[in-house]
Chains A and B, each alone.
Chain A
Amino acid sequence: MTAAQTRMKPKTQRLIMIGAAVAALIVAALLAMPALRQGAAYFYAPADLAAAEITPGQAIRLGGLVEEGSVARLPDGITMTFRVTDRLESVPVRYAGLVPDLFREGQGVIADGRMQPDGVFLADTLLAKHDENYMPPEVAEAVERAEAEAKARSAPAG
């Protein structure tokens, strides 16, 4: 290697490195932005939902309480229907699958899914709220780590 080369190199090197870092940033942003637009689900309470313009098929998250006396199971034994309410409004929900351990009438629930054109919310995932009692932060954190009973899953594949 000549002396001239060794003198030139670090500067070029640094430019290449910075160029590569900027490229990596741009790639990450290009990958993240569209994914974020499609993958982020907005949260609505039933009253918000009544006021908002929701395109059917858009992924959203619905939260509220499971209305007393609204839970019913369809004859197939798997699909269940219930209403989610915030007392002002209530939204009919359909869900096929096992409900989470803490799913109960009168309890908080968060449903991930989409509105159908017929006004029924089709849920892919139900999260029953962790606990009917608000735990002190320390217990909550441990259970939070667990994410435990809160999750139940979803309609049959496809």
Chain B
Amino acid sequence: MTITKRLSIIVPLALFIAFVVVALVGLETPQNAPIESQVIGQPLPDFELEGLNADNPGLAASDLRRGGPVLVNLFGSWCVPCRLEAPQLAQLAEGGAVVHAIAIRDERRDVERFLTENGDPFARIGLDPRGRMQIELGASGVPETFLIDGNGVIRRQWIGQIRDEQVPEILAELERWK
């Protein structure tokens, strides 16, 4: 067998292996938004959001500066994945996490119905009818979940629906910022 022939036989395999390696590296690289939040490590600005009703007083920046790490979940009653992550949020709350929520561009009535249908693991819920907090938190969609340390500094961001296997990771993160 000539060398050229041997090469022409091996080259396809080599090219394919190169592709697999690149694909593996590509899969390992986080695929998060190009619009990753630039606000990790930044303090939250002041804000105050209205609550649902008399029993649910709303959410303000001061609620996030009480010395312990908390989660803030951005959701919308109109958003399909937000329904799907409801059980995971419930697990987080059961695991001892304080989970606050901000309802983005939503109606009171729809939020109430969403909570009856999907459960309410939230400590406090703020209404954000114009989606202002999305900008403040550097979120590009819903659902997104943020970890705020006890001093009101944004520490972590989870983009998209929280999956089952992420629950322990998030609880561990909360432990870390205690």
* Contact assessment for B135 and A106 in the assembled complex, using a CB-CB cutoff below 8 Å: yes
Please choose the segment from A62-70, A92-100, A112-120, A146-154 that sits at the chain B interface, where 4 or more of its residues have CB less than 8 A away. A62-70
Please choose the segment from B63-71, B140-148, B165-173 that sits at the chain A interface, where 4 or more of its residues have CB less than 8 A away. B140-148
* Contact assessment for B4 and A136 in the assembled complex, using a CB-CB cutoff below 8 Å: no
- Which range holds the interface residue count of chain A? 20 to 34
Cβ of B17 < 8 Å from any Cβ of A?
no
* Contact assessment for B143 and A132 in the assembled complex, using a CB-CB cutoff below 8 Å: no
Please choose the segment from A1-9, A26-34, A71-79, A80-88 that sits at the chain B interface, where 4 or more of its residues have CB less than 8 A away. A80-88
CB contacts (< 8 Å) of A67 on chain B: these are: 135
Min Cβ gap A12→B in Å is 13
Chain B 6-50 near chain A by CB (<8 Å), digits 1 or 0: 001000000000000000000000000111101100100000000
- Which range holds the interface residue count of chain B? 35 or more
* Contact assessment for A139 and B76 in the assembled complex, using a CB-CB cutoff below 8 Å: no
CB contacts (< 8 Å) of B81 on chain A: these are: 133-136
Please choose the segment from B53-61, B86-94, B126-134 that sits at the chain A interface, where 4 or more of its residues have CB less than 8 A away. B126-134
* A43, A67, A132, A135 — most chain B CB neighbours (10 Å): A132
* Contact assessment for B82 and A133 in the assembled complex, using a CB-CB cutoff below 8 Å: yes
CB contacts (< 8 Å) of B4 on chain A: these are: 14-15, 18
Cβ of A141 < 8 Å from any Cβ of B?
no
CB contacts (< 8 Å) of B35 on chain A: these are: 45, 63-65, 86, 108, 129
Cβ of A110 < 8 Å from any Cβ of B?
yes
18 sampled A-B residue pairs with Cβ under 8 A: A14-B2, A63-B35, A65-B134, A68-B130, A68-B131, A87-B42, A87-B138, A106-B131, A106-B132, A129-B140, A129-B141, A132-B104, A133-B79, A133-B82, A133-B141, A133-B143, A134-B161, A136-B161
A interface, CB within 8 angstroms of B: 14-15, 18, 21, 43, 45, 47, 63-65, 67-68, 85-88, 105-108, 110, 129, 131-136, 139
Closest 4 CB pairs of A and B: A133-B79, A134-B160, A108-B140, A106-B131
